[in-house]
């Protein structure tokens, strides 16, 4: 069992590794199971035809658009999040799926207030920003300080405390991969505070910017003074860096306010399509329903939630009932620390042996390419064989990943086999945690492919004659 703090830090780096490790199935020996898996080719075609070119064509996109346009951003602990959960329950029941329950979860509500940064020297300029999750506030008049620019934590450690004390640390890491760069967002404030800084800023964790700051989670380490922390745009970070490197003194005034209430109640949502032979055994498809307070949360993670919603709906419509139960879960309060997933794992710990396979889509719903899979060699062999059925849509790649997804890494870390959606998400971090996360990012045809792929994979795993081995 992972500790919560260590796992959360690990999960912050789950997305976009430097190199993908593609699984080689040449050593797999599955015997008669190969023929059994091949026999699902007709079911795959049926689901693909129904979803991509039949009656369900455009349905996932249309329902997602209605949802995000109606509710917009859905931060943890807000009334709008709870209303969006009620909406999804009613939408699901209209499809004839009545095995829908919710489970209460205590969650935080962090409300962003006034945020303003003004450059005072060497010239006056407003700096765009987004405060990071649970950031500390400034006094009403703000904090004014000189900027110290650092490119990495090693450089920070090499600077004496007297040169950091009372100043503002600006981290300017160049985006390489999300997993390598995000630590400056998640841990930067703590490390700067430990050296005596009064505030910390980070160059937004993205490879591309049209003057868009990117928010996200950060945590204060034990024993450090919480200091205000925010992300600024690539453009402003690079401007300040150029000034700093020329020896100019850069002075900023930072004003940030926020409120934090740790005692709100939200809900995980569970939708079951009961299995015909082993209803107690579960194949879980999932995405999170909450979002940051900017944009519409269409990409992160409205799309992932809706392809997971679509799976039991499509199977119900096609009268396809697998041997095991297909359970769709909409996790709550993912963005502020995987809170819904932790609550579910704790509440259902005595049933964990019944989770046959767990899936999550939380890295975009662009064109599906396959799955990123955690599990034993035998488990990966089985999933690789299933993915061969999706060569026609170019979704047959299996990426070996020890910690796929965000919420589900809690479960795969305990030995439960699982997978996240591997998709063509090269532009995912262009929009991630910004005002630009809107329906304009989504593509109807790609959502159709994703919903069909997600549904068919879940059905096959849930219907196989054997469990996925651990």
User: Which residue numbers are catalytic?
Assistant: 334
Q: How far apart are CA 358 and CA 420, in angstroms?
A: 9
Q: How far apart are CA 337 and CA 8, in angstroms?
A: 7
**C-alpha torsion angle, residues 12, 16, 17, 20 (rounded to 10):** 140
Number of C-beta neighbours around residue 113 at 10 A = 11
Whether 172 contacts 149, CB under 8 Å: yes
DSSP string for residues in 319-376:
T---SEEEEEEEESS-TTTSHHHHHHHHHTGGGGGGEEEEEE--S--SSEEEEEEES-
Residue tagged 């889509």 (tokens): 361
Structure-block tokens of residue 202: 């980070």
- Burial code (b: 16+ CB inside 10 Å, e: under 16) for 410-446 equals bbbbeebbbbbbbbebeebbbbbbbbbbbbebbeeeb
Residues in the chain: 470
Beta bridge partners of 105: 266
Grouping H, G, I as helix, E, B as strand and the rest as coil, residue 200 is strand
Q: How far apart are CA 320 and CA 285, in angstroms?
A: 16
**Helix H segments across 364-443?**
377-387, 409-412, 428-431
């Amino acid at each position: 069992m992972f500790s919560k703090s260590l796992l959360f830090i690990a999960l912050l780096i789950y997305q976009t590794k430097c190199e993908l490790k593609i699984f080689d199935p040449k050593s797999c020996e599955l015997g008669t199971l190969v023929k059994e898996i091949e026999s699902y080719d007709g079911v795959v075609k049926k689901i693909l035809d129904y979803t991509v070119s039949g009656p369900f064509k455009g349905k996932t996109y249309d329902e997602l658009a209605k949802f995000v346009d109606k509710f917009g951003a859905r931060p943890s602990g807000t009334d709008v999040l709870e209303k969006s959960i009620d909406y999804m329950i009613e939408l699901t029941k209209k499809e004839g799926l009545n095995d829908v329950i919710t489970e209460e979860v205590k969650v935080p509500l962090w409300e962003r207030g006034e945020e303003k940064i003004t450059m005072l020297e060497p010239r006056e300029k407003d700096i765009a920003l987004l405060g990071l999750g649970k950031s500390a506030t400034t006094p009403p008049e703000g904090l004014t300080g000189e900027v110290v620019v650092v490119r990495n934590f090693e450089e920070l450690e090499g600077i004496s405390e007297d040169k950091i004390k009372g100043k503002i640390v600006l981290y300017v890491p160049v985006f390489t991969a999300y997993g390598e760069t995000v630590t400056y967002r998640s841990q930067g404030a703590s490390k700067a505070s430990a050296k005596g800084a009064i505030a910390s800023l980070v160059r937004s964790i993205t490879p591309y910017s049209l003057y868009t700051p990117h928010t996200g989670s950060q945590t204060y380490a034990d024993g450090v003074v919480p200091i205000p922390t925010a992300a600024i745009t690539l453009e402003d970070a690079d401007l300040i860096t150029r000034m700093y490197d020329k020896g100019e003194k850069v002075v900023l005034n930072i004003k940030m306010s926020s409120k934090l209430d740790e005692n709100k109640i939200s809900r995980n949502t569970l939708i079951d399509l009961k299995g015909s032979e082993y209803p107690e055994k579960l194949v879980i498809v999932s995405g999170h329903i909450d979002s940051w307070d900017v944009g519409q949360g269409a990409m992160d993670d409205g799309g992932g939630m809706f392809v997971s919603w679509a799976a039991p709906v499509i199977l119900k419509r096609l009268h396809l009932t697998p041997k095991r139960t297909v359970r769709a879960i909409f996790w709550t309060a993912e963005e502020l620390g995987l809170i819904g997933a932790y609550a579910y794992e704790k509440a259902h710990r005595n049933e964990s042996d019944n989770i046959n396979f767990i899936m999550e889509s939380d890295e975009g719903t662009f064109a599906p390419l396959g799955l990123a899979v955690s599990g034993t060699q035998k488990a990966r062999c089985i999933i690789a064989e299933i993915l061969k059925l999706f060569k026609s849509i170019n979704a047959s790649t299996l990426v070996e990943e020890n910690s796929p997804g965000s919420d589900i890494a809690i479960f795969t870390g305990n030995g439960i086999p699982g997978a996240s959606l591997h998709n063509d998400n090269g532009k995912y971090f262009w929009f991630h945690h910004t005002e630009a996360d809107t329906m304009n990012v989504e593509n109807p045809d790609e959502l159709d492919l994703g919903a069909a792929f997600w549904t068919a994979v879940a059905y096959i795993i849930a219907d196989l004659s054997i469990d996925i081995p651990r």
